[in-house]
Structures are given as C-alpha cells and as structure tokens.
C-alpha cells in the first residue's frame, strides 16, 4: 500500500481536526448554546468518518477487534450522524426558534438514530468473513443483509444531501449576511459533492447486480467526493461563525497596533489608579480597551499642557504642505509631543487664556493622531515648516 495513497485522506482529516481543536474553547464556554453544540458535533462526526475510512485505520480496526470489516458500521454510523447534524443545523439557521422547528429537529434525530441502529443490526446479521479495505461495497453488494446495510447508508446519505441542497437553494436568495452567504455556498458545493459520491456508489453496485464490473466508480471515483463533502460542509458551518470573529480580531489587531506609538508616548506619564496586569493570553478586545483607556487618562492629564496656538499653527502648516493625509491628526501629534515634553520637564501649564475645547479636540482624534505618529517624516516636515514660517514672521 503506497503511503501517498493516504495523503488525500490525511489532509482534510487534519483540517477538520484542527477546526475541532479551535472550536473546543468556544464549546467549553458555551456548551449550552444549541448552535455551538451542533457545530462541535458536526466536526466530531466529520473527523470521525475520515479517521475511520482511511485505509490504514480500517486495517488497524480489523486487527484490533479481530472482526473483519467492523470499520463499516462505525464509518457509516458516523456518516449518518453527520448527515442528521447537518440537516438540523440548516434548519436552525433558516428558521426562527419555534415549537414546530424543535419538533422537526427532534424527529430527524430519531429517524437517523434508527438508521444507525439498523446499520449495526444488518452488519451483525450479515456474513462478511473476508476483510475488504477498498471495495467492500461492491464485493458484498449481493450478500444478504450486507446488501441492505450498504443500501441503507447510501439511501440515508442521498436523502439528507437532496433535502439539504433543496433547502439551501431556496434559502440562498434571502441571505444578506456575506459570511452566512459564503457558508451557504460551501454547504451547497459540499452536499452536491455528496450526491456525486452517492451516484458513483449506486452505479457501481448496480453494475455488480447486472454482472458488470464498474468497481472503479466505487473505489476510485467516489472517495474524493466524500472527502470533498466533509471538508466543504464543515467549512460551510464554520465560516459564518468564525468569519465575523476573525474580521473583528483583524480590525482590533490593526487598531491595537495603530495606537501603539501614541500609547508608548503617553504610557509613563502617570500610572493608572488600579492598573490591571494583562498577560499575552488576555483576549485582544480587553487589551485594546485597556490601551484606549490609558491613552484617554493620559490625555486628560496633559490637557492643561496642550497649547492651542501651537495646535493651530501646526494645523495650518500641515494644510499648506503636500502629502499630508490628515492635517488635524498631524497637528494633534505635534501638540501632544510638545505637551509631553513640557509635562516631563515639570514646566507650568500653558499660560494665557485657556481654550477649554483644545484638550477635548485632541482627545477626540486619538486614531488620526496615532496614525500620524506612524509617519515621523511627515511630522518632521511640518515641524520644519512651522519653524521656517515662525522665523519669517519674526524677521518680518
């Protein structure tokens, strides 16, 4: 058996296992949430199917239990559970909570639990002494009880795929959320791949009954579509849940980094009243909240040192220059830099009549000020322009 033959099984199995590991913390935090629980179960069943149907694992399971072909009821039971969970999750997404929806979901679980029970019963009644790793479905296509065992799992899978494709096709035009729409597309492709798998299996079995050999449809053509279905359906249910969270994380990460220069410039002005020590594992949204809060605390402390005249001059110099994307942000960055210097030197607050709104204006522009601090060359150009303008006015 060539190791390269197992690579198509290993890749989607590893991806599903990784998705399951990433989902576990959410499951532990919100195990009572039906959607979280169903998503986790779906990943468990999909991963279990791919683990069991990998040829090397089929051989290991046969050797471990000393029961030829015992992998068959295990794999088909996991596949049936996967189908049931997928159908119920689509129903949870499409329909608002209601007594009718809950009743239909419960009915699906009972029907597919019955299918699993019959799968085990037919396997126990069948006489399948020869272990078949690659061609079990066609080899035993005419064997009593095993024939029913094989047809039952194909029928259950076909029905679930057809119902899922039909529901998704009707629902797709109503979906507005882009992440959910992407998930629906993945699901449609996944269940359509499952239908191709079923057609290939059924054609190979039908050929056996009529005395022809189309086993290649079952052994070579069908398995890739089963792997594709598991991966696409899992993606379809994961993307709408992970997508928005990932988008928010990227947005928070970008803002956290953008505020970095401003935070570093202000962090040592005064300690927070009750400083919280956040470690590297602290959620990003909490660290971002703390960073914003410390910036605002420091700006309130700097308020008396912000020179409104300096701010206006910097604003005018920035607007007169080329390549300055945000004059207000640049002016705020220069005014804060000067205020930090005055505060650290122990100098007095800005003399003369105060403009109460000057500090407020600066505090309300922390994003643009932080962005300006990322462009030291522009700040230096504006500062130089202010100096030259001041000198010209002085000589004039």
Question: Tens digit of pLDDT for each residue in 166-190?
Answer: 999 999 998 989 999 999 999 999 9
Read off the pTM.
0.74
* Per-residue pLDDT, 152: 96
Of 55-69, 131-145, 344-358, the poorest mean pLDDT is in 344-358
pLDDT bucket at 396, cuts 50 / 70 / 90: very low
SS3 sequence, 122-144?
HHHHCCCCCCCCCCHHHHCCCCC
Q: Are 328 and 365 in contact (CB under 8 A)?
A: yes
- Separation of alpha carbons 133 and 147, rounded Å: 17
**Which pLDDT score, from 0 to 100, does residue 353 have?**
53
Per-residue confidence (pLDDT) for residue 281, from 0 to 100:
66
- What mean pLDDT is reported for the chain? 85
**Looking up tokens 């050797």, which residue turns up?**
63
Q: Ramachandran region of residue 19, left (φ > 0), alpha (ψ -120 to 50) or beta?
A: alpha
pLDDT confidence bin for 2, thresholds 50/70/90:
very low
CB 263 within 8 A of CB 290: no
What tens digit of pLDDT does each residue of 189-223 get? 999 999 999 999 999 999 999 999 999 999 999 98
Query: In the predicted model, is pLDDT for residue 115 greater than 90?
Result: yes
Q: How confident is the model at residue 358 (pLDDT cuts 50, 70, 90)?
A: low
Q: Name the DSSP class of 219.
A: I
The pLDDT of residue 4 is above 50 = no
Angle at the Cα of 265 (from 260 to 282), degrees rounded to 5? 40
Q: Indicate whether 93 pLDDT > 60.
A: yes
> Phi/psi class of residue 274: alpha, beta or left (left: φ > 0; alpha: ψ in -120 to 50)?
beta
**Can you tell me the mean pLDDT for 125-153?**
95
Question: What pLDDT was estimated at residue 1?
Answer: 44
**Among residues of the chain, what percentage have pLDDT more than 90?**
38
Tell me, what's the pLDDT at 7?
Answer: 63
| pLDDT(392) > 60 | no
**288-308: average pLDDT:** 86
* pLDDT grade for 283, boundaries at 50, 70 and 90: confident
Over the stretch 222-281, which tens digit does the pLDDT of each residue have? 988 988 888 888 888 788 878 888 889 899 999 999 899 888 888 877 655 555 566 666
Confidence of residue 32 (pLDDT cuts 50, 70, 90): confident
Give the pair of three-digit tokens for residue 305: 């040192």
Q: Is 90's pLDDT higher than 60?
A: yes
pLDDT at 9 over 90: no
The two tokens of residue 42 are 């779906």
pLDDT (average), residues 14-24: 79
pLDDT higher for 34 or 151? 151
Residue 86 CA, chain-centre distance (Å), reads: 18
Cβ neighbours for 358, distance < 8 A, ≥ 6 positions apart: 303, 306, 307, 308, 311
Q: According to the model, what pLDDT value does residue 75 have? A: 93
Whether the CB-CB separation of 127 and 140 falls below 8 Å is answered with: no
Predicted pLDDT at 279: 63
- Residue positions counted in the chain: 396
- pLDDT for 394 equals 45
């Amino acid at each position: 058996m060539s190791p390269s033959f197992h690579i198509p099984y290993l890749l989607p199995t590893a991806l599903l296992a990784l998705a399951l590991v990433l989902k576990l913390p959410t499951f532990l935090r919100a195990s009572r949430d039906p959607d979280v629980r169903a998503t986790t179960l779906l990943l468990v069943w999909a991963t279990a199917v791919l683990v069991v149907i990998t040829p090397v694992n089929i051989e290991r399971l046969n050797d471990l239990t000393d029961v030829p072909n015992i992998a068959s009821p295990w794999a088909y039971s996991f596949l049936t559970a996967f189908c049931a969970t997928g159908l119920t999750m689509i129903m949870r997404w499409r329909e608002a909570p209601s007594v009718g929806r809950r009743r239909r979901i419960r009915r699906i679980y009972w029907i597919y639990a019955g299918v699993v029970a019959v799968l085990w019963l037919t396997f126990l009644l069948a006489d399948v002494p020869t272990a078949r790793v690659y061609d079990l479905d066609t080899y035993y296509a005419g064997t009593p009880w095993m024939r029913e065992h094989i047809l039952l799992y194909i029928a259950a899978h076909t029905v679930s795929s057809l119902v899922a494709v039909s529901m998704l096709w009707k629902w797709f035009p109503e979906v507005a959320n882009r992440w959910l729409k992407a998930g629906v597309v993945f699901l449609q492709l996944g269940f359509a791949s499952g239908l191709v798998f079923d057609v290939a299996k059924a054609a190979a079995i039908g050929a056996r009954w009529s005395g022809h050999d189309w086993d290649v449809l079952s052994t070579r053509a069908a398995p890739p579509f089963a792997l594709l279905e598991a991966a696409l359906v899992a993606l379809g249910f994961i993307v709408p849940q992970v997508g928005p969270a990932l988008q928010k994380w990227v947005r928070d990460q970008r803002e956290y980094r953008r505020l970095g220069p401003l935070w570093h410039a202000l962090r040592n002005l005064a300690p927070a009243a009750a400083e919280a020590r956040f470690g590297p594992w602290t959620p990003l949204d909490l660290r971002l909240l703390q960073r914003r809060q410390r910036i605002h605390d420091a700006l309130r402390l700097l308020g008396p040192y912000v020179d409104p005249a300096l701010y206006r001059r910097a604003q005018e110099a920035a607007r007169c220059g080329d390549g300055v994307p945000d004059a207000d942000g640049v002016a705020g960055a220069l005014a804060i830099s000067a205020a930090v210097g005055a505060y650290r030197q122990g100098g007095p607050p800005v003399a003369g009549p105060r403009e109460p709104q000057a500090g407020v204006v600066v505090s309300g522009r922390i994003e643009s000020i932080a962005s300006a601090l990322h462009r030291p060359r522009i700040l230096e150009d504006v500062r130089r322009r202010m100096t030259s303008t001041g000198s010209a006015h002085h000589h004039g």
